[in-house]
Chain A
Amino acid sequence: MKDEVRILTPNGILGYGIPEADFWRGVDRQPDAIIVDGGSTDPGPYLLGLPKTIVSREAYLRDLSLMLDACANRKIPVYISSAGGAGIRDQVDLMVDLIREIAKREGYRFKIAKIYADIDAQTVRKAWQDGLVSPCGSAPPLREEDIDLSTHIVAQMGAEPFVKVLREHPDVDIIVSGRAYDPAPFAALCMMHGIEPGIYWHMGKIVECGANCAEPKGKVILTTVRKDSFDLEPMSLSERCTPASVAAHTLYEKSRPDLLTGPGGTIDLRESRYEQISERAVRVRGSRFIPAKDYTVKIEGAGVVGMRTIFIGGIRDPILIGQIDDYLCRVKKAAFDTYPELRSGQAQIVFHVYGMNGVMGDFEPLVDAVPHEIGLLGEVTAPTQELANAICSSVRIDVLHMAYEGQLATAGNFAIPLNPPENPIGPVCKFTIYHLMKVDSAEALFPIEIVEA
């Protein structure tokens, strides 16, 4: 048990690049661990549905090389959570392969713990049938067909699987986990040192984003955590944390800034106090943790809903722009009359009318504005790429040539920049599952394997 725990976080997402001088400035402060999160749902469902990693292999190798240098030569453990972005098994294994590649090249030797987060559809279906699954936030209720559609399902682990590794394998150099609640590895290290839960969860919530809480926003941050407070200090000398910048960070990408719910309970920031303790550092205290009655994990699933073909172009004719909504309705109707897959709902057409409401759709308050030019993105999704191509081609030809009231320009309605004019762009995914699942054990879903590199 230590009175103070220091954690260095090199950036908000593994692979986004680490400023080297700031990193080594942090390493020189002798942190107890280097912890970085690798995941996000923010880029959309394709990471989990296809799946893809959030950055390239080269980007991972670059960031990992720096962290493994500190791990091997300064003996600082490295924890990586939500490996690869979606945190599926293949992405955990990829991260360990990359670590092995670097270790072999540099002559390092590491003991690595892998924690997997994949769940099979049958487990989710059983929990759903037993009434243990509920929507997370504003997600819709779970449907059985969404479970079936999921190509991958993961659960966000809390701190417990990391704690299990730290207790049972205290000599591991590196932990690579699948999907995890972002603050979980930060919390786990602090749990080993008698720190209060409100303190370590709040700290983890801030520090998992790197130096995002600094002004200007940065990457590398060092936190010093003790029983009832934590300090935040960005490692770039041109950034500083202030009470306002740190408090403002708790707004970012969160439904509300004062009560943050995660596995095992809710972080209550209503009594948090922020104090400037030096030119560039802030101390936080007063944050509390309210344990939940039932332990839930967030489960995430994604799958492929179809193949997409698009066209893009512009309209400059004011006579057509003046009746564009009606015109596009007629174009759509012609396609529906031709393709039964549109009528049955197996295929979809969506128009994005830039200059009118292409960005905000139904949220757009300026409904009467008439621009001098509009951009049109036509999006067709169908069960096969061939069908998407066929429908998209028909629709694009109609947009180019369909007659309209008062038409003077009888040679063509649509300015097309690309050739060929329609472009197949492959699979479209969706989040099939974004739910909370009640579990008896915070560890049982997340198997641990110990390997050497």
Chain B
Amino acid sequence: MGNNQATPARTLRQLAKVVRSKNSGPFEITFDVIFDSDEVYEKVKASGVLDESLICRLYGITREDIVTLMFFDPARAFKLTLKRGWQQGTVGERDTFGAQQHAPLLTVEIPGI
């Protein structure tokens, strides 16, 4: 996955304890990435990788679609909320609970860990 000796990197799949998505009401999907050590959490936060431009690229959206993007220290967590893009539970629904939209986050690489 693009690792090389000069800049070692690990993915969120390797680093996080929880990577999940879920509805926050019928018009938003929210994502939680939770770490179980302060050290890893602080390194991920300091890396600056998890920013708006990455999220826009991963989900094919624009900045206006991002409702929340923040770190939450008490839970050692990265928090992201997106506009749903389609309405919950009606014609054309693909994921009623919004529970399977997290997968692209798993392969995000954090350098220097």
Q: Could you tell me which A residues sit within 8 Å of B by CB distance?
A: 41-46, 136-140, 243-244, 247-248, 250-258, 269, 272, 274, 305-306, 308, 348, 350, 352, 358-365, 379, 381, 428-431, 434
Contact = CB atoms under 8 A, between A and B. Distances in A.
A350 B91 contact: yes
Q: State the 6 A-B residue pairs at the shortest beta-carbon distance, nearest first.
A: A44-B89, A430-B90, A247-B74, A247-B75, A138-B27, A350-B92
Contact of B30 (A255, A274, A352, A362): A255
10 contacts: A138-B28, A138-B67, A247-B72, A256-B68, A256-B81, A352-B94, A428-B90, A431-B89, A434-B25, A434-B26
B11 interface: no
Given A253-B22, A272-B74, A431-B88, 18 more contacts: A41-B88, A44-B89, A45-B88, A45-B90, A247-B74, A251-B32, A253-B23, A254-B24, A256-B70, A257-B72, A362-B85, A363-B61, A363-B104, A429-B90, A430-B91, A431-B87, A431-B89, A434-B26
Interface of B: 18, 22-28, 30, 32, 34, 36, 57-61, 67-68, 70, 72, 74-77, 79, 81, 83-97, 100-101, 103-104
Given A305-B91, A362-B85, A431 B26 contact: yes
Contact of A359 (B22, B28, B100): B100
Residue of A42, A365, A431 ringed by the most chain B CB atoms within 10 A: A42
A379 B75 CA distance: 41
A227 B96 CA distance: 40
User: In the complex, which of the residues B18, B24, B83, B89 has the most CB atoms of chain A within 10 Å of its own CB atom?
Assistant: B89
Contacts of A381: 91
Nearest to B77: A251
A138 B84 contact: yes
B85 A137 contact: no
Nearest to B61: A363
Nearest to B31: A251
Contacts of A364: 60
B78 to A, nearest CB: 10
A137 B67 contact: yes
A269 B34 CA distance: 18
B108 to A, nearest CB: 11
A363 B85 contact: yes
Contacts of B76: 244
Most buried by A among B26, B58, B101: B26
